[in-house]
Amino acid sequence: MNILQEILKIANQGIYIFPLQSGSKKQFKNIDYTKATTDEDTIKSWFSCYPNMNVGINLKKSNLICFDIDEHKNTPLLSTLNDLKQRGYDLFKEPVRIETTQNNGIHVYFRLKQDKGQKLTNKINFIDNVDILTDKVVSYPSANYKLVKEVDFKSLPIAPTWMINHANNRTLALRAPHSTNELTKTGKWLEFIKKGALQGERNNFLTAVVGWLFYHLSDPYTVEYWSNLINDNCITPPLPQNEVNSIIKSIYRKEKMKRSKVNE
């Protein structure tokens, strides 16, 4: 991967870039996030001085909002995503840009409507392990950041109203999760995934998991990401990639048929 080309590709989509110190979130003393730019010559100059720089995005200038979800030892990422889903906060109704962070969390990006009167602020701990960021963020192609699903910034969906309202610092009650029974089911599924599968059980295990993922996550690319992660970390030995792809495609087709019948 050519790092500079990736940075310029982002800047050419109208995204304001600024350099960060190598492998960190620290800004340079003489270049903070207010100096973020889309100018190619300036970015090339920064990269020439700091070839190992991390990449920051000025979200406000770029008219973006970022959902930052952390992974913690006692709270797997899937558990947090399910908590959001149970509260009715669905991040994946439309194709979104997703990247993994250096601590195995994810960033999910949305566009903002042009509104000069809009005064958004970071909403730290929106729920446990989740921040809504509106000023700046470390982004791909920084060290240890990977692009899971590439969607051009210009094609991103508009941030949902509930996200804007919370970032507007309005005093809003969080939506309550669904029934305790549903959360208990989620916990059981997470335990099932954690236990994993050995030779002879792998296909049935992954088929069940992919079906569960499609039930909770409408976006097939997000399902594909989690399916591969679970295959690599919870199945011994992991299934070949072609078998994983075959399972995902098969269940995706069935889910599409189910949903089309419901909508008839």
Q: Tell me the domain boundaries of the chain.
A: 1-178, 180-263
More confident residue, 33 or 83: 33
Q: What is this structure's pTM?
A: 0.72
Angstrom distance (rounded) from CA 84 to CA 69: 10
Decide if pLDDT at 180 tops 80. no
More confident residue, 207 or 177: 207
For 217-234, how does the pLDDT look when each residue is reduced to its tens digit (9 = 90+)? 767 878 888 888 889 888
For 60-83, how does the pLDDT look when each residue is reduced to its tens digit (9 = 90+)? 999 999 999 998 777 778 888 878
